[in-house]
Amino acid sequence: MTIRVLIADDQALVRGALAALLQMEDDLEIVAEVSRGDEVVDAALAHQPDVALLDVEMPGVDGLAAARLLRDAVPACRVLMVTTFGRPGYLKQAMAAGASGFVVKDTPARQLADAVRRVHQGLRVVDPTLAAESLTQGDSPLTAREADVLQAARDGGTVADIAAGLFLSDGTVRNHLSSAIGKTGARTRAEAVRVAVDNGWLLPH
């Protein structure tokens, strides 16, 4: 039986390479390729793939949000996240979004093809190094609002900019930033953002 595969990645070179590698397998067929997260559901509805390979960071909507939308729109399609960013926090968010697997892009072609097959069979496939890191790291220490404030701070706006964007007072934003800086063990707002991004505690940009 042929497994129908959709690939979503904003980098044309990577998307083409993944398609070429998987197309060499007799039992895998690439039925659709898209470059944006907000194109995933329409492509899946049109082509009815068995497995969708989603990048984490994409324009439109990120791969994690696309996985949630796909789960609701085409529940028969399994999701395998394939990303450059092997961050434990992203792994947890992906699993919460309904993904069946999470591997990094430097996974050997044979292993990637096998991951597609296993996900299609209803099994869970997770990069072993990432799984170990995820277990030892624990959940994000940030509250939802602290994460929102740090997310807004990624663009380098002032406290007033962040406050206006989130409909909070300047003082409340300062308090959340101070708390987030303390919880991440950082010294500055920029460092707190970097720590949170590296750990996957913030959504993809």
Q: What pLDDT sits at residue 131?
A: 63
pLDDT of residue 90: 79
- Average per-residue pLDDT for the chain: 89
Chain Cα centroid distance, residue 122: 20
Sequence ranges of the chain with CATH classification 1.10.10.10? 144-198
- As a whole number of angstroms, the distance between CA 49 and CA 9 comes to 16
Residue-level pLDDT at 134: 60
Cα within 13 Å of Cα(136), Cβ side = 7
- Domain spanning 3-136 has what CATH number? 3.40.50.2300
Q: pTM score > 0.75 for this model?
A: no
Report the topology of domain 144-198: Arc Repressor Mutant, subunit A (1.10.10)
3 phi and psi angles, rounded to 5 deg? -95, 120
**Positions in the chain short of pLDDT 70:** 85-86, 88, 130-138, 204-205
What pLDDT was estimated at residue 141? 85
pLDDT at 198: 77
Residue 106 has what pLDDT?
A: 82
User: Which residue intervals of the chain bear CATH 3.40.50.2300?
Assistant: 3-136
Q: How many CB atoms lie within 10 A of CB 136?
A: 7
